Every structure is written in C-alpha cells, then in structure tokens.
C-alpha cells in the first residue's frame, strides 16, 4: 500500500482510495486538525471507540446536530436551505441522552430481532427476482442498479408503507442529501430534492394521522396522537429521512463493497464458495474492510485530550470508523480481506462500521440480513460472478460505495 502524506478528505484520490490517508493519520497524526474543514479527525481504533462511548464529552447534538441545524458545514459551506429549520428537533442520529434514549426506545420497536427475522422471506423473494434480472442482462448487468440499490430501497419503502414505485425518487433524494452533508453537492439539485422529499413525507404523515395502517409511520403517528410518547410531525419526517438514507445507502454500499473485495481477493472468493457457512463472517469482514459509512461527527462539550492532543470545547470531531477498522494494532494484516476473520470459532465481530455505544446503528441487523441473503442467493444461483467493466464510486468522503458495478453472471 502506498503511504500518503497529509490528509486531504476532499481530494478525488482520497475519495477513490482513502486507506493510505488513514494509515498516514494513524501513524503520524492520530488526532488531526484539518484546517480546510475545521475537523478534528480521530483515526486509531481505541481512540475512536473511546469517543463513541463518551457521549457526555463527545456530543452527537453538537456534531451531527450542528450539520443538520445550519452551522457552517464541511469546507465552511452552509448546508442547503431546506436543512436550516431543523434546529431543536429531536433526530435520533443527532441527539444526546435523555432525548436519544426516549427516541431509540420508541423507534426500536420496529427493529427487534423478531421483527427483522420476519422480513427474511420477503427479502429472499426480492433477491431471487433481482438475480434473475442480472442473469437475463448478460454482459449488460449492473450489480448496483439491479440488486444492491433496489433491494434495500424496496424493503425500507415497505416498512414505511410507501409504494415501491417511488424507489427512484427515494434513491435520488437519498443521494442528494448525502451529497449535501458530504460537501460535494450541486446546491440547486439538493435544494430541489430536499423540498420534494420533505413535502412528500409531510403529506404522507398527515395522511397516516387521519387513517393509520400497519406500517412504521402509522405506529409513530398513532403514538404521537395518543400522547404516550410524543413525536411531532416534523420529527417523524426526520426519522423517515434518516431511515431512508441509512437504510438504503448502508446496505447498497455494503453489497457493492463486499462484491468488489471478493473480486480483488479471488482466493477468498473461492473459500467462500467452497464453504457458504462463512457468509455471515464474510459480511462482517466486508463491513470492516471497506466500511459503507466511513465516518460521522461529534462535538466536544469541553476541552478534552485524546492521544496527547487537546481538542477545544466546541471542536467538531470526525470519528473515522473506516480508519479505525484498518488499525494494525487491532487487526492482523488489516489491509487484506479475509472471509473467516470473524468466524465464530475465531473472533467476535468487534469492528465499528456500525458505530459503538449508545448510537450503535439501529438498522444494523437489517443491513446484515439483507447482505447475507444476497450473498446466499448469489452463491446458490451462480457458478461465477465476475467484473465486466469499470466501476464508478460514490462521490463522497463520508460514504463509500459504488454507483455502478458492471458484472457478468454465469448461472449454475
């Protein structure tokens, strides 16, 4: 691996391959102040875990919350105008206790192990049909467009009670909002998508207040109406937006990144094909090796010293999950993809691609289920899956995945 010098989060070379930059950070500047973005980047495993498990010192409200509420964003650019009226709202990813505890208890009822397990038959049916489409497409197949993107979008749409035919709108809204948070947006496009998205969810929630059904939005609307646990309409909108983005971007990127890792490590692909029982461990390794969400943000509530560097009160901290997950002090040969690294008889999955502590990703079990079912379906249906053209990456330093991944599928 080529060693980088300095840290340039917005550089196209960094977006294409951030891992040399992360290695430089860990080795030379484990708590690094990037002047361009005014970020304090924390990159070593133990330090990252320490930040994530200390919400009193490293506040989500002052990190993710400030980005949503209108504090100048990355590269000192302000977020799109539609984000500026969100100050004061309770948003799961951008709150601290006690609000976070209340919100998580409420929305977590839809993500219990039993609720997630009940989705498996539907996910498997979707995966089977999409693999059919990939086979039928021949040399024109695209793993992202035909499987990695539509599957999680349809699942989230169905959870929210939204027609699957809106999935193209869902994907466009999600991509544009992520671009806004990443500092790589087309401002007019993000503005348009944000207004469209908030309007759609607002109208939908108003309808669910009038005529609730069996979907997740109805559950939240009814609870708010009855007053047992109150979420305002805009807070329900924000939960829908969060679920839309986290629920589809994470799984889409996980599936694409996992496939590319196997393409790059054919010996490991062969091991997986010979022993499909390793699929759950391989999913965990894909998360560690090339994290779908590379980092999120916290804000320091006081002057605090990490790795002999003092982060000032109010400093915005970039918690670099992906850098921590390649820390050689934690993992042997961390830049290599090893399908059985997290096999049950070896090690528990201690990577932090889904975060750690009170903000451990609520949807992680769903993403794991979707990725496992996709891998099982591909292995059962195909004799071979191989790259068939140049892939295209997501233009973001926060999210890592593909917008296009051409493949060729050879059925059994």
Q: Which two tokens stand for residue 401?
A: 């995945």
Contacts (Cβ under 8 Å, ≥6 apart) of 227: none
Q: Is 31 strand, coil or helix?
A: strand
Closest CA relative to residue 180, chosen from 89, 316, 78: 78
Instruction: Please give the pLDDT value at position 88.
Output: 56
Q: Which domains does the chain possess? A: 12-411 (1.10.630.10)
| pLDDT for residue 230 | 62
**Phi/psi of residue 141, each to 5°?**
-75, 145
Nearest Cα to 91, choosing from 211, 239, 281?
239
Beta bridge partners of 398: none
The predicted pLDDT at position 80 comes to 47
End-to-end alpha carbon distance in the chain: 36
Residues 218, 221, 226, 231, Cα dihedral to 10°: 150
Residue 73: its pLDDT value, please? 46
Mean pLDDT by 10 residues, the chain (412 residues): 67 91 96 90 98 97 76 47 53 87 82 90 97 94 95 89 78 71 63 83 88 86 60 82 80 96 98 96 98 95 97 96 98 96 83 94 93 98 95 90 95 91
**Contact 272/282 with Cβ under 8 angstroms?**
yes
What are the tens digits of pLDDT across the range 115-135?
A: 899 999 999 999 999 999 999
For 194, half-sphere exposure in the C-beta direction (CA atoms, 13 angstrom radius) is 23
Q: What is residue 79's predicted lDDT score, i.e. its pLDDT?
A: 47
pLDDT of res. 84: 43
- What per-residue confidence (pLDDT) applies to 77? 46
pTM: 0.90
Question: Which pLDDT belongs to residue 223?
Answer: 65
């Amino acid at each position: 691996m080529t060693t980088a010098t300095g840290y340039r989060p917005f550089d196209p070379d960094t977006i294409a391959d951030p891992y040399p930059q992360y290695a430089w950070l860990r080795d030379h500047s484990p708590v690094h102040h990037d002047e361009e973005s005014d970020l304090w980047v924390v990159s070593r495993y133990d330090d990252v875990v320490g930040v994530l498990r200390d919400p009193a010192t490293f506040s989500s409200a002052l990190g993710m919350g400030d980005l949503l509420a209108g504090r100048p964003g990355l590269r000192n650019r302000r977020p799109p105008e539609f984000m500026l009226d969100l100050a004061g709202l309770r948003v799961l990813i951008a709150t601290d206790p006690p609000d976070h505890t209340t919100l998580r208890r409420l929305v977590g009822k839809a993500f219990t192990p039993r609720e997630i397990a009940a989705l498996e038959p539907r996910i498997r049916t979707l995966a089977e049909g999409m693999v059919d489409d990939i086979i039928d497409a021949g040399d024109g197949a695209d793993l992202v467009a035909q499987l990695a993107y539509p599957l999680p979008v349809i699942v989230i749409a169905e959870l929210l009670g939204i027609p699957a035919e809106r999935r193209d709108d869902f994907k466009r809204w999600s991509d544009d909002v992520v671009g806004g948070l990443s500092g790589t947006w087309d401002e007019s496009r993000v503005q348009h998508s944000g207004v469209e998205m908030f309007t759609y969810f607002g109208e939908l929630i108003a309808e669910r207040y009038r005529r609730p059904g069996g979907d997740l939005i109805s559950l939240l609307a009814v609870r708010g109406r009855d007053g047992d646990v109150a979420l305002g309409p805009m807070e329900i909108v924000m939960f829908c937006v969060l679920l839309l983005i986290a629920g589809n971007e994470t799984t889409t990127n996980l599936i694409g990144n996992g496939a590319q890792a196997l393409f790059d490590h054919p010996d490991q692909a062969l091991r997986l094909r010979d022993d499909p029982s390793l699929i759950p461990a391989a999913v965990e390794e894909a998360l560690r090796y090339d994290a779908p969400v590379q980092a999120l943000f916290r804000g320091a509530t006081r002057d605090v010293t990490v790795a002999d560097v003092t982060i000032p009160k109010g400093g915005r901290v970039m918690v670099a999950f992906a850098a921590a997950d390649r820390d050689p002090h934690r993992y042997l040969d961390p830049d290599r993809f090893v399908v059985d690294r997290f096999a049950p008889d070896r090690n528990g999955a201690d990577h932090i691609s889904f975060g750690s502590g009170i903000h451990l990703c609520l949807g992680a079990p769903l993403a794991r289920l979707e990725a496992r079912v996709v891998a099982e379906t591909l292995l059962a249906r195909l004799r071979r899956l191989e790259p068939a053209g140049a892939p295209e990456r997501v233009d973001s330093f926060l999210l890592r995945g593909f917008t296009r991944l051409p493949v060729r599928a050879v059925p059994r």
